[in-house]
A = this chain, B = another copy of it.
Amino acid sequence: MTTKKPTRIQTKNRAIIERAALEIFSRDGFRGATVDAIADAAGMSKPNLLYYFPTKDDVYRSLLEGLLQHWTAPLLDLDPDGDPAEQISAFIDRKVELARDFPMESRLFAGEMLRGAPILNDVLVGDLKALVDRQAAIIKGWMDGGHLKPMDPYHLIFAIWATTQHYADFDVQVCALLNDKSDRRFDAAAEALKTIFVEGLRPR
């Protein structure tokens, strides 16, 4: 059997399935999700779903594959020639936007990390590390040039990731503690984070 290129209906149905699967997987985790639930959410019979993705695992992998590229875009966009503070601010802004607009993707990724990244480990060690190495070097350049306080650029990247994704992954906690379910929390978060990261806590 040769790998033919997908027909239009295949493309469409795979997209429908992925959309449904993202919802279910991000909410229930890999083990908690059932093919039934995904098929239901996709408005499709279970065998039909498995016609497009032979196994539950395949659906999950397919989601993860598209994920990192999307999610690391803001990091990739750092402009070595831009103003460092502005670049960092923009980075934060874009990450908060992602947390607001694509929380399920973030939670899917977080779930995979909690499990020890059984699927994504190769990508972490490979593509992602390569990307982070490159961008850390850019940030390091800014520090060496005296534009940023010297520190470990990797941990800086981690910190920005952690704080921004927190608003997607721990949304339920954030809402509970702020007692606010409106979207304002994202703007407030972006503002606070930019103050913290760029200015620091100490008054000058």
Contacts and interface: CB of A to CB of B under 8 A. Distances in A.
Interface residues of A, number: 65
Contacts of A191: 151-152
A196 B154 CA distance: 12
A121 B31 contact: no
Given A121-B172, A203-B146, A151 B31 contact: no
15 contacts: A28-B31, A32-B32, A32-B115, A110-B110, A121-B176, A125-B179, A148-B203, A149-B195, A149-B199, A158-B189, A159-B193, A159-B196, A162-B170, A199-B200, A200-B202
Given A28-B115, A156-B196, A162-B163, 12 more contacts: A27-B115, A31-B31, A32-B115, A85-B202, A110-B169, A114-B114, A146-B203, A149-B201, A154-B177, A155-B188, A158-B189, A159-B193
